[in-house]
């Protein structure tokens, strides 16, 4: 970690930044800590054993009660644990061993600047080609992953919880940088995390692994798994599954192409490594984010060529706009504002802020292009992208659309948190920015 202190220092106490009232914040944390794990199992059960019907799953639980829920919760099997261990070890090895150029992250609140190795595209290609090759040559059948999916989710739920405990202890005893500290509250520290940039050794960045190489990579791997499972079950792949899988793979491909830009976002540069981020990426992403494809395995829908192409093109267009928003801002930052935005010199606000160590830094706020439409306009095409890879399921059941609804709530909340953080960071300059770009997400509406 660049610029971190070379001597062991005491962990600093951090202040708790909350968007909502303390009572609502505590209620939200406790609710998510206790409800998310069983929800993942209920989602899997409903998609794979209850015909995707919430009413059917509810009827089962109504008649069988708590004992019925316990009976449907799969035990982590040896096979599931082996699959997770091999996959995690493979991705960790790729993260460490594949070549990539060095990329600096943003300056942290404590004035540190983390250094990353940008080899995400190479890791992504190697992972997918290896997975497909194992299937093609009969070495490993991806349907095994689907057939043990409940056991895999169960193992991930418990294993990732233990991993978060490890992060909590590490944050107290061996923080990787001065960007760490305790709020003085064990629940807050466990949920939000202790460290901003935790590492094992000098080069293995934990958040890059959990967020990118395990979580996002598993999204692509499971998208292919669902497609292969439907093919082996039915002898063909429905056009709805092809559209869903293609759009998900395009989105994840975009993510890894832009991975260095992701290291500048809230997930990496602001949110600490705790249950919220790490458990979410290790468990919630592989289960909830992939759930439309999970549903389609047993519910093949024939869309017809015209409708399938319309959904595919619309989805790809939304993914491209989402990418271009991020590319535009990244290029603006890279050139220090000396670039063209939509063919013109960019409109900007020059802002200054003070780090927690007392240093004064300068930053540029882009107020033209996509970023002149709304402060978080890039969330609009991201939500629409999720809708387009879900809509091939049509509207027979509500549950496939849970991810779209969840993503909308997540991004609207994230936009508010980011606005509050920037208001605190930039002060009067943020007010100028909001005066110039008055809408938060949807131009002319919100």
Helix (H) or strand (E) holding 243: helix 239-257
What are 181's strand-pairing partners?
12
- Strand, helix or coil for residue 274: coil
Phi, psi for residue 366 in degrees, rounded to 5: -75, 130
The DSSP result for 307-358, as a single string, is HHHHHHHHHHHHHHHHHHHHHHHHHHHHTTT-S-BTTBPPPEEEEEEE-TTS
pLDDT at 21: 65
Q: Please state whether 235 falls in left (phi above 0), alpha (psi between -120 and 50) or beta.
A: left
395-424 pLDDT per residue, tens: 999 999 999 999 999 999 999 989 998 998
- Retrieve residue 64's tokens: 């069988």
φ, ψ for residue 263 (rounded to 5)?
Answer: -70, -5
Look at residues 21, 47, 129 and name the one whose alpha carbon lies nearest to residue 294.
Answer: 47
Distances (CA, A) of 116 to 41, 95, 201, 205, 264: 35, 10, 13, 8, 11
- Block means of pLDDT (10 residues each) for the chain, 446 residues, are 37 47 80 94 97 95 94 97 98 97 89 93 98 97 98 98 97 94 92 95 95 98 98 96 98 96 90 95 97 97 97 98 94 91 93 82 92 96 98 96 96 92 91 95 94
At residue 20, the pLDDT reads: 55
Residue 295 contacts residue 228 (beta carbons within 8 Å): no
End-to-end CA distance of the chain: 39
Q: pLDDT (tens digit, 9 = 90+) per residue, 233-278? A: 999 999 999 999 999 999 999 999 999 999 988 889 889 999 999 9
Residue entry with tokens 């598993």: 218
- Cβ-contact 155, 84 below 8 angstroms: yes
Please give the pLDDT value at position 356: 74
Q: How far apart are CA 57 and CA 90, in angstroms?
A: 36
């Amino acid at each position: 970690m660049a610029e971190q202190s070379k001597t062991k220092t005491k962990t600093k106490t951090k202040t708790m930044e909350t968007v909502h009232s303390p009572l609502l914040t505590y209620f939200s944390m406790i609710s998510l800590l206790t409800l998310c794990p069983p929800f993942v199992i209920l989602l899997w059960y409903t998609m794979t054993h209850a015909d995707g019907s919430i009413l059917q799953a509810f009827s089962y639980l109504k008649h069988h009660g708590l004992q019925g829920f316990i009976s449907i919760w799969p035990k982590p099997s040896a096979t599931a644990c082996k699959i997770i261990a091999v996959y995690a070890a493979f991705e960790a090895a790729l993260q460490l061993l594949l070549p990539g150029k060095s990329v600096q992250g943003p300056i942290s609140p404590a004035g540190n600047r983390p250094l990353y190795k940008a080899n995400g595209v190479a890791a992504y290609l190697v992972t997918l080609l290896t997975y497909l090759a194992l299937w093609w040559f009969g070495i490993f059948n991806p349907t095994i992953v689907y057939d043990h999916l409940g056991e895999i989710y169960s193992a991930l739920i418990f294993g990732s919880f233990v991993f978060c405990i490890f992060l909590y202890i590490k944050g107290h005893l061996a923080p990787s940088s001065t960007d760490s500290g305790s709020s003085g509250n064990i629940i807050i520290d466990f949920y939000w995390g202790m460290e901003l940039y935790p590492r094992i050794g000098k080069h293995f960045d934990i958040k890059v692994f959990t967020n990118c190489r395990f979580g996002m990579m598993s999204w692509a791997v499971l998208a292919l798994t669902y497609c292969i499972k439907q093919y082996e079950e039915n002898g063909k792949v429905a056009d709805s599954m092809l559209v869903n899988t293609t759009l998900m793979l395009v989105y994840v491909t975009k993510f890894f192409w832009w991975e260095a830009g992701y290291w500048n976002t809230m997930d990496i540069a602001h949110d600490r490594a705790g249950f919220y981020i790490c458990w979410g990426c290790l468990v919630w992403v592989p289960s909830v984010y992939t759930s439309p494809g999970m549903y389609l395995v047993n519910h093949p829908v024939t869309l017809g060529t015209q409708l399938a192409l319309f959904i595919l093109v619309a989805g790809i267009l939304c993914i491209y706009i989402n990418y271009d928003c991020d590319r535009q801002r990244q290029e603006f930052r890279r050139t220090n504002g000396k670039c063209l935005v939509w063919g013109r010199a960019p409109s900007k606000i020059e802002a200054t802020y003070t780090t927690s160590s007392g240093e004064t830094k300068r930053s540029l706020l882009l107020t033209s292009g996509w970023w002149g439409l709304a402060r978080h306009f890039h969330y609009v095409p991201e939500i629409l992208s999720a809708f387009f890879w879900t809509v091939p399921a049509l509207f027979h059941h509500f549950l496939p659309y849970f991810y779209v609804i969840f993503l909308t709530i997540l991004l609207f909340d994230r936009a508010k948190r980011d606005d509050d953080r920037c208001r605190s960071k930039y002060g009067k300059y943020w007010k100028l920015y909001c005066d110039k770009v008055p809408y938060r997400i949807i131009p002319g509406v919100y």
